Structure 1
Amino acid sequence: LLCCLENTWASSITATVDRDPVRLDESFTLVFDADGPVDSDPDFRSLERDFDILHRSQSTNMNFSNGQVSNTKQWTLVLMPKRLGELAIPSIPFGKDRSPMLRVTVISAQHAQPDKRSEDLFLEVDAEPRRTFVQAQILYTARLYRAVTIENATLTEPTLTDADAVIKKLGEDRTFQTQRDGRRYQVVERRYVLFPQKSGILTIDPVVFQGQIVPPRRSFFSPRSSQTKRVRSDAITLTIDPIPASFQGATWLPSRSLQLAEAWPQNPPQFIVGEPVTRTLSVVAEGLTSAQLPVIDVTVPPSIKQYPDQPVHEDKETHQGITGLRVEKVALIPSQPGRLTLPAIEIPWWNMHTNAMEIAMLPEQSILVEPGVGVTGGGGNQRQLSQETPSGSLSSLPPYVTQIQTSTQGLGVWPWLTGFLAIGWLVTGVLWWRYRQGARFVSKDGRQKIAGSRRSVERDLKQACERGDAQAAKAALLEWGKLQWPNSMPKTIGDIGERSSEPFREEIRRLNHALYSYESVVWEGEALWSVFEQSAAQETTTLKPTDDGLEPLWAT
């Protein structure tokens, strides 16, 4: 019990850095977040081996949601690397809890250009990569270096001359410190993503900073004056290549990484005739927006109807660019039992690391559709046989199956199987005789109550059909099914459809479509009530009450 409580109270601690890589003599921010209370304050001394801790702060947030209180605690450190290379940020202890280990790459310091060595304020811009494909992501970074106090500052957005491209700012500005030739600067960094829409030469115009430089006061009584200054960055020229001829996909997808995944309510999914199963498909691509991701092309066997939901789009912004996500949910409703194959799903894409086409794929999968309640068919018998005749070695079977097979090896299975079947037939015969005897002596009052309930349910069904109320019609049909098959009550209206004949079965399918379609479907119930009345009238005419007092049943 104590172990369970200890795991329940344990906090989850995350660690993130604001950018990677960083340059030597540049500061960066390391943030630790805890989603619950920690045993003790963190010990950051292990960081001092490779980093100088310039600043540290701590904050606590309390959130109230649905009557529950949650606490999150955050520790923020500003670090300066001491050496080049891939440096480890060790796991930090927070009492019994620990943060994950991270790595950050430290590259050489960038030296100032000769004409900027003595500047108090200057701009630097960069774009990566300088050569890429059309519609591929380009990271554009603008950095403002200042060694003075500024106010009323503005920075223009990047623009392009005679070019078609989508430009989007990434997150909030980042601030850090760095040194250039022995002089310390405060740096403000702003990042953008560009997606060129046509091939050719693309020129990013210079960005312009304008602000007031505030000199330090010599004394408290000295007048405060400021000087307005404007600085301009360099222009950047990019080369944009067209879609390579070797790409064979329908949608051009240049990405650093693209993944295709699926999820089911149960694993493996369980399919039953007439019951919907939701299949969730998702595509995640680094360096692409969700708007660039294609519709997932899905084909299913003819005996499965699919009803797609509206897709969900989401763009996640990080310091390395945009990651696009597209999620599609599809309700699959099988109409007949048996073993079916869901075809493979393929999405061709262009790997920007290897500069080659690749295919993200979900392999084909075999599914078994079970019959609905009271429905028999080849699919159900096939499943029963596959369970009774497992393949493989004895060690791969469940323990009880292994024990049964081992204990009967000496005598053989046929004597036991013959005796088991004989007992089964005997029990079945006794139960059938008792059922017939019980049904034969149903009282007149009992039959009248059943008939009254049936009329009430049919009246509810008629009203629901006249109103076009699909949910009410479903409820009335299920109640009617309980009266129609009291010993094997249907669980879904799909079960009722499987036990009925045309055209009533077709109207059940139409109702099922209206209930489970993600599109707006107007259901007209007059046709369902009409075929229900006709079928009920035929049953009343052809199956009148017999002399033994049994209620007529709707034939399946």
Structure 2
Amino acid sequence: MVMRLFCCLLLLSAMPSWAATKLEASVDKNPVLAGEFFMLNISVDDTIKSEQPDTSVLLKDFVVGPTSLSTRTNIINGSINKQTTWSVKLMTRNEGEYTIPAFTVAGLSSQPIKLKVAKRAADADKNNDIFLKTELSNNSLFVQEAGVYTIKLYLAKELLDGSLSTPSMEDAQLTQLGKQTESYELVDGKRYLVITREYLLQPQKSGVYTIVGPTFQGRVQQNYRQLEVSALGDDQQLEIKPIPANYKGAWLPSELVNIDEQWQPEENTVEVGTPITRTITLTALGVTKEQLPEINMNTIEGIRSYPDDVETNNAVRNGRVVSQQTASFALLPQKAGTYTLPEITVPWYNTKMQRISYATLPKRTITVTGGAQANTQPLANTNSAAPNEPNLQPATADNLAASTPPFQPAQDKTPLWLVIVAVLGYILWIITAIFYWLSRSTKNEPKNTSVSVNKAQPLSLSALKNAAKTNNLNAFYNELNEVAIKLTGKKVAAINTLIHNINNDELAAQVNRLQSALYANSSASIDLNAIINMIEQHQAQRTKSQQAVLKDLY
């Protein structure tokens, strides 16, 4: 027993201490081609699980792929070697001399690596088994005008797996449209599987920008081998034009805007009480459905209007974004007469002609006739006609003489069961009326008054004021939109509706300056506090009027 313990202590004393002593960084190829992926390996002679090298410093010069971790333990002739390796895929788009900086792990540092990147040949992608093509619908856009950016990945080999990066551009939103599609094409006699993705591009500021092309890395099957492949999409320059200074109203840049309507029934002459369905459709090219202004119809005295739900959608047609908004209104004429529905006009900026244009729905005149029911006069005496007679007429001596001879006895007697049913129906009607009156009295109790009082309370503008203190124009505009939605109840073009309701030229001017500063790089001075003050005054007047209404209710 003592001998065994002694041997164990001897073995433990002979074993090395497993503390990290060396950190090394290396690449699997040097030089590399521009657009070609290579592997960076960072290794330490120990098992490290709590730390990892900071690879964020590589983002300045390289496209950085995912990092994988591997550990290994070797025992050779009683000697134990441990190793932890971090592997990172890298790629750079441009030729030149680069330096991969030193990394630090477990108190150890690696040596920097000098990397040479050679120019990619102009015909490098010709006759290749994999390459990328990119296309932009228009090389010049206005601020907030929607463009379509298309990526096509061509594969001549069987794809096992891969990763296609998302394109990027400063001061712009890039959103994938739908799902990617797959098709086949013949290029120079070679058959390719083509994977296509479309992105919605919406620039937010004017200037000259570059769309950074996508990159692809993956594995393909060639005979019985698996090959690592990569491809690089070209960068594209794009000019973003500012909002013209003379444009006023909701900004709607488009190549084409159209508004039309449908009526049911189609006739321009209807009778009183006949329901009319009016469906208005607004279609715009080169904008998103969120940019479409809300369609409103003016109130016509003598015709009740009931708006239906608004439907919006967008799609891509021939490389262009097409958006559409459909609004339906139910019209119910209340009295006879001739009515003219005013025209509906939507201003927009024609990006092809570079001028302000208008989509107009012309006015329409309809004639409402009295109808048969409208000409019917109330009966002077309901007992002058037989109960079952379908056509009731005013009781006169002539028609009484024509319908029934004087002093002629009744030919038919009312059945007893019909009388019983009528009496029971009358009793049920009385009971129903009593319950309706009781329920209506309960609903009119003072508990609803508290709800009305709460609605009269002004909306909090604290978030708007905080954004004004920090002079954060983006945050202020977003909060202003939220306030406008709550005050107007409109989800589309809420700010414009609020400006219309307040009807203050100074407010409209300040908001226009704010929009110009955000979307047109304007340097005009903006008084954010003045906007807040005008909204507070509007709320105060609104609250005062609501309280006056509540006072009248009491």
Q: Give the shorter-chain TM-score range.
A: 0.3 to 0.5
For normalisation by structure 2, the TM-score amounts to 0.47
Bigger Cα Rg: 2
For normalisation by structure 1, the TM-score amounts to 0.47
